[in-house]
Chains A and B, each alone.
Chain A
């Protein structure tokens, strides 16, 4: 069935375009002066509408990301200061873009957590490859890798954006642990 949409029949003065142009100019002027007013009166941003601000001046102001936000993957330590990763390499294999490279090594004997078989000698995540999918966090049997909220990484070279073990641990920090699975092994 065809639906015929009736075009409105314009009156002669509407056909002149001028009423419409004038109406449009009124709308744009209203927005213009309101924004200029806000800007001059120090509110500084674009017009603040019911849906919130239109412009956010980014480097000075940042979005408050929600808690479940998937930002950069990082390595964490438990409250005893032990690196939780056991270098099982599951994350390395699950990572879709192959951003993770792990070099495992046996934990040197004198360390208190030497009961664990291995730890990563080097742990690299290439942030230029990472797609923030969170699979590494999901797959990790030790809850050793977490995606935090950081999302903005800037570097001047490709090397700078490959996060090594130190950087990952520094970003990850300490995380409360309920189980202490390896403590009394």
Chain B
């Protein structure tokens, strides 16, 4: 990584000289990340369908394209071409607004995630915020409003129950979710996700016993945050007929669906970033990868940048796999069980964890 700062300096100088470039670069990053994210969302849906099928001894969608690989394309066309039915009894404005409110935070939260080190001197994160994690939490919890609003606007009993459950669920996991991360910040001393990743260059955080507990609490809360089984109470199709999105169809339903999967991806990315070294690679890479190359004339970059992005991506896929696998393994928790778990188990556990971490740090100084 010896020449990296040099290139970075050079490139940044150039960029700030032409202020337009900076905007163009950011727009380019946004476009790439957005499309990658949406593409990943649709393929996560396919993966979920295939994996669930295999787990249940079935085959899953295998018709469109090779082994069903074009199924997401077919699905998206189907969703776009479907008739857009709006039930007569809904509250129209909120009914249309709810899916957008559900999807937007899911996509917004990804902007603070560093998905690579640097490429051509450009940090691989859209917004390197100092309050990265706080931003993440504040925006991510807005997603719940989409669900609550959807349940309210549908003006029908099951979606309404789904909405109520969603808000009750939120207050029971979000406190412990936030508290579970405090040991991480105590350890790293920063809320900036890029710095958290940099702090893990020698040892990934989950190897630390306190932080492993923090990881467990955070992961379980993420399942609740993303409305995934075993905590998909707002949806619970068996008892609430789909819950908050019962009255939704065509593309509006698809937006809720996309939001769920985008949330899953963001949660996986966050877990990778916070506890599993982000884009770091656990072994030494060959030196030759760090030599700058100039395939595309004005852009000088090091191939190692791509390796980091790939490393991040693979770790994220692993967590997506965990999300999917858990869904098809565990039955749904009951409403009160989740609240008990959140308030009586995870909250004290997270608080104790903060305390122990403090003692640990005081002793190790």
Binding site for B on A (CB under 8 A): 21, 24-25, 27-28, 31-32, 34-36, 39, 45-47, 49, 54-55, 57
Contact of A31 among B55, B326, B330 (CB under 8 A): B55
**B58 in the interface (beta carbon within 8 A):** yes
**B288 in the interface (beta carbon within 8 A):** no
The smallest C-beta distance from B141 to any residue of chain A, in angstroms, reads 25
A39: chain B residues within 8 A (beta carbon): 54, 59
Contact of B51 among A32, A34, A54 (CB under 8 A): A32
Interface contact B57-A21, CB-CB below 8 Å: no
Contact of A45 among B55, B59, B326, B328 (CB under 8 A): B59
Interface contact A24-B54, CB-CB below 8 Å: no
Could you list 26 examples of A-B contacts with CB < 8 Å? A21-B326, A21-B329, A24-B329, A24-B330, A25-B325, A28-B328, A28-B329, A31-B54, A31-B55, A31-B56, A31-B57, A32-B55, A35-B53, A36-B54, A39-B54, A45-B59, A46-B54, A46-B56, A46-B58, A46-B59, A49-B57, A54-B56, A55-B57, A55-B58, A55-B59, A57-B59
Interface contact B330-A46, CB-CB below 8 Å: no
Interface contact A28-B325, CB-CB below 8 Å: yes
Interface residues of chain A: helix, strand, loop or mixed (majority)? helix
B55: chain A residues within 8 A (beta carbon): 28, 31-32, 35
| Assembly CA distance A35 to B54 (angstroms) | 6
The smallest C-beta distance from A49 to any residue of chain B, in angstroms, reads 7
A54: chain B residues within 8 A (beta carbon): 56-58
3 nearest A-B residue pairs (beta carbon):
A47-B57, A46-B57, A24-B329
A32: chain B residues within 8 A (beta carbon): 51, 54-55
| Assembly CA distance A164 to B57 (angstroms) | 43
| Assembly CA distance A142 to B59 (angstroms) | 48
Complex: chain A residue closest to B220, CB-CB:
A17
- Write the B31-64 contact mask toward A (1 if CB under 8 angstroms, else 0): 0000000000000000000010111111100000
B56: chain A residues within 8 A (beta carbon): 31, 46, 54
| Assembly CA distance A94 to B330 (angstroms) | 53
| Assembly CA distance A47 to B53 (angstroms) | 10
| Assembly CA distance A31 to B56 (angstroms) | 7
B330: chain A residues within 8 A (beta carbon): 21, 24
Complex: chain A residue closest to B329, CB-CB:
A24
B54: chain A residues within 8 A (beta carbon): 31-32, 35-36, 39, 46
| Assembly CA distance A24 to B58 (angstroms) | 18
| Assembly CA distance A127 to B330 (angstroms) | 45
The smallest C-beta distance from A53 to any residue of chain B, in angstroms, reads 9
B51: chain A residues within 8 A (beta carbon): 32
| Assembly CA distance A47 to B56 (angstroms) | 9
The smallest C-beta distance from B252 to any residue of chain A, in angstroms, reads 30
A28: chain B residues within 8 A (beta carbon): 55, 325, 328-329
B53: chain A residues within 8 A (beta carbon): 35, 46
| Assembly CA distance A162 to B317 (angstroms) | 53
Complex: chain A residue closest to B56, CB-CB:
A31
The smallest C-beta distance from B55 to any residue of chain A, in angstroms, reads 5
The smallest C-beta distance from B261 to any residue of chain A, in angstroms, reads 20
Complex: chain B residue closest to A30, CB-CB:
B55
Complex: chain B residue closest to A27, CB-CB:
B329
The smallest C-beta distance from A177 to any residue of chain B, in angstroms, reads 45
Interface contact A25-B57, CB-CB below 8 Å: no
**Contacts beyond the supplied A24-B330, A28-B328, A55-B57: 8 A-B pairs with Cβ under 8 Å:** A31-B55, A32-B51, A32-B54, A35-B53, A46-B53, A46-B54, A46-B57, A49-B57
| Assembly CA distance A25 to B328 (angstroms) | 9
- Write the B51-87 contact mask toward A (1 if CB under 8 angstroms, else 0): 1011111110000000000000000000000000000
Most chain A CB within 10 A, of B57, B59, B325, B330, is at B57
| Assembly CA distance A27 to B53 (angstroms) | 14
Q: Provided the pairs A21-B330, A24-B330 are in contact, do residues A35 and B325 lie with their beta carbons within 8 angstroms?
A: no
The smallest C-beta distance from B356 to any residue of chain A, in angstroms, reads 19
The smallest C-beta distance from B320 to any residue of chain A, in angstroms, reads 15
| Assembly CA distance A28 to B326 (angstroms) | 9
| Assembly CA distance A54 to B57 (angstroms) | 7
| Assembly CA distance A35 to B51 (angstroms) | 10
